Amino acid sequence: MSADSPIVEIGETPLVPAHVSAAFVSDSVSRVTEQASPVGWWMVFGVALLFLGVLGLSVGYLVWNGIGSWGNNSPTAWAWDITNFVWWIGIGHAGTLISAVLFLFRQKWRTSVNRFAEAMTIFAVICALLYPTIHVGRIWALYWALPIPNQMAMWPNFKSPLLWDVFAVSTYFTVSLLFWFVGLIPDFATLRDRAKNVARKKVYGALALGWRGSNRHWRHYERAYLILAALSTPLVLSVHSVVSFDFATSVMPGWHTTIFPPYFVAGAVFSGFAMVMTLMLICRQVYGLKDIMTMKHLELMNKIMLVTGSLVGYAYSMEFFMAWYSGNAYERYVFINRATGPYWWAYWTMVTCNVISPQLFWSKRLRTSIPVMFAVSITINIGMWFERFVIIVTSLHRDYLPSSWGMFHPTLIDIGCYTGSLGLFFTLFSLFIRWIPMVAMFEVKAALPGAQPSHHHAHTEHAEPAHGALAVKEA
Amino acid sequence: MSEQAVSKRPVVYLAEFDSPDAIIHAAEGVRDAGYEKWDVHTPYPVHGMDAAMGLTDSGLGWIVLLCGLTGVTAAVTMIQWMNGYDYPLVIGGKPPDAIPSMVPIMFELMVLLSAFGAVFGMFGLNELPKHHHPVFYSDRFEAFSHDKFFVSIEVEDKKFDTQKTKELLEGLHSTHVELVEEEVS
């Protein structure tokens, strides 16, 4: 039995319907990039461009007039900017989780989702990188954060988690982009070979690098893919851990806790899966890819959201427990203030969206219902934005001395910078959908039933016993 | 060149197959016949094909290891020199060259350089990008990226023989055998 077959003993079924062949996969996925876009695409793209314009105006105004255009002020020196940064980078994490971690765990169902999720990662990280960049105020001096000789003859402080963040996020972006491009090469070759006009042939041909499906190439290619997955797995854990160090290494009550790295990573995966789900539900509907992104895929993703949502809920309660158990008056106050202070509505929005809403997925009927999962995925994204807002703003606005307490009020530029980043994200995502195969065709083909040789040779590399044999041995 | 007419010379035999079982069987046949300059072209990686072709394990891991070690070394050298020696910074009462705070950047640079090693090492080993190859002269070859499987045997192979190689490929149940020719001016 091939390692790709479903394990019938535990009730697994094939991932895709029987009529899905390799040719069907190429045709249905490539078609999206070959035909004129549906009206819906133009509507999304148009609205996204509009908000991209809002972003340009807001950022331009901010850079020209200074950071005071935001509502950030003492004591809330970090507010929406860093909330947005953490939110976007968290969204990005699901892409790497799907492409790398699930690859290492040999989860074949990832093949239908990974291209999509990796694209989302890259665009989300672009949006995330925007905020620390503009938050420095004088963006023309941004290179001071890099180890480049400058006129002050000073070097960056390598003991600062903010500098670790510069390295972590830029490494993450670069590695994600490489991983994505490597995965695209065989699919660009498919588009090149299907191309009817010279321009498409030239552009996709250049991107395909002359790929000819050679097994002498696949040998190194698969190894490169495996190594990239093995590198990305600790990388993705490190990135949000380092983001959480920005908070955890400070001495702010509510931030200075050791639970932050795993808590942030779980939240990142949670929000990222929600975003993938939102986008996937729209795209499979609009482009008729229901046979490739099946209900089984959606259900598996909902299960991951249930797990990570529960982890996040555990972290919330553990923070409260530790605040009480620590005996630290400031720590206790921060948490009482979160739940009952002036930002109580943000806290309870967060709990409702992140902890309560995914619990619906315990029910099989609800986690296989498209409207329910669509609503829950959007709810989770809202909730995860509020989580970062709660962590940042409620900790800062009332820290130690009551004389320095204050409230945060967003300005129009805050709102423009946030909604504008959604415009940037959806502009990039629309262009991706239009021009790049949104499903990893070669990976889906490789995981189709019957795609791999049916008989095992004595000298093949995967000399695993059949699943049935394993079960008998264990019994 | 005095010749005006374009002449053609054979460069590669291309045999087409319909199924993963057929292609893996064919690869074993060509391997056992003792060919060296030949290849298999598939729309996706086929399990067990490396063994069927008699290929050794990819050496890419060694390149990546080297790059990863370079990344760690570069991080240590850079941080020690910049913060510990060239412009010592005492932060939080820690020694300027404290090791624990170096770890995140050591890790990140290790990952970054390893990833470069994996991708560009793979390009190097595969000689990519390379936009010209004799197999592209065939009109049928486009199907390799769709759902067909191909075996190619190059003329340069020592055992290549227009008749015998063709018989071998046909004997392996190829659905279509084609002698791909290149234009010589």
Q: Give the rounded percent of residues in chain A with a pLDDT score beyond 70.
A: 93
Q: Name the minimum distance, in Å, from the CA of A295 to any CA of chain B.
A: 25
Question: Which residue of A219, A251, A459, A464 is the best one to mutate when testing the B interface, meaning the one whose CB has the most B CBs within 10 A?
Answer: A219
Phi first, then psi: give them for residue B86, nearest 5 degrees.
-70, -40
pLDDT single digits (tens) B72-101: 999 999 999 998 889 888 888 888 888 888
Nearest to B145 among A160, A174, A213 (CB): A213
ipTM of this complex: 0.91
Judge: B20–A215 Cβ closer than 8 Å, yes or no.
no
Residue B2 has pLDDT above 60, yes or no: no
Name the band, by pLDDT with cuts 50, 70 and 90, for residue B11: confident
3-state secondary structure of B9: strand
Average the pLDDT over each of A20-34, A58-72, A257-271 and give the range with the smallest value. A20-34
pLDDT single digits (tens) B28-53: 888 888 888 888 999 999 888 888 88
A138 in contact with chain B, both atoms CB, cutoff 8 A = no
Nearest to A164 among B104, B123, B141 (CB): B104
| Total Cβ atoms within 10 A of residue B18 | 14
Q: What is the pLDDT of residue A11?
A: 65
pLDDT single digits (tens) A117-136: 899 999 999 999 999 999 98
Spell out the domain ranges in chain A: 1-14+464-475, 17-139+171-448
Q: Name the minimum distance, in Å, from the CA of B2 to any CA of chain A.
A: 33
The residue-averaged pLDDT of A391-411 equals 89
Name the band, by pLDDT with cuts 50, 70 and 90, for residue A5: low
Q: B-chain residues within 8 Å CB-CB of A456? A: 48
Phi first, then psi: give them for residue B44, nearest 5 degrees.
-150, 160
Q: Name the minimum distance, in Å, from the CA of B145 to any CA of chain A.
A: 5
SS3 content of chain A, % helix, strand, coil (to 5): 75, 0, 25
Judge: A453–B24 Cβ closer than 8 Å, yes or no.
yes
What distance in Å separates the CA atoms of residue B54 and residue B35, rounded to the nearest whole number? 11
Question: Which residue of B126, B127, B136, B142 is the best one to mutate when testing the A interface, meaning the one whose CB has the most A CBs within 10 A?
Answer: B126
A130-133 CB contacts, 8 Å cutoff, 24+ apart: A130/A59, A130/A421, A130/A424, A131/A81, A131/A82, A131/A84, A131/A85, A131/A88, A131/A417, A131/A421, A132/A81, A132/A82, A132/A85, A132/A165, A132/A166, A132/A169
Smallest CA-to-CA distance from A171 within B131, B107, B41 is with B107
Query: Is the model more confident about A457 or about A104?
Result: A104
What distance in Å separates the CA atoms of residue A371 and residue A348, rounded to the nearest whole number? 24
pLDDT single digits (tens) A409-419: 999 999 999 99
Phi first, then psi: give them for residue A312, nearest 5 degrees.
-65, -40
The residue-averaged pLDDT of B113-134 equals 92
3-state secondary structure of A438: coil
Q: A-chain residues within 8 Å CB-CB of B131? A: 205-206, 209-210
Judge: B47–A452 Cβ closer than 8 Å, yes or no.
yes
The residue-averaged pLDDT of A279-308 equals 87
Q: What is the pLDDT of residue A424?
A: 95
Q: Which domains does chain B have, with CATH numbers?
A: 7-56+128-184 (3.30.70), 60-126 (no CATH)
Query: Is the model more confident about A1 or about B45?
Result: B45
Q: Give the rounded percent of residues in chain A with a pLDDT score beyond 90.
A: 49
The encoded tokens of residue A221 equal 């290619």
Residue A37 has pLDDT above 60, yes or no: yes
Query: Is the model more confident about B66 or about A40?
Result: B66
A218 in contact with chain B, both atoms CB, cutoff 8 A = yes
Residue A457 has pLDDT above 80, yes or no: no
DSSP string, A138-159: -GGGGGGGSS---TT-----TT
A437 in contact with chain B, both atoms CB, cutoff 8 A = no
Chain A 151-180, residues with CB within 8 Å of chain B CB atoms: 153-161, 163-164, 167-168, 171, 174-175, 178-179
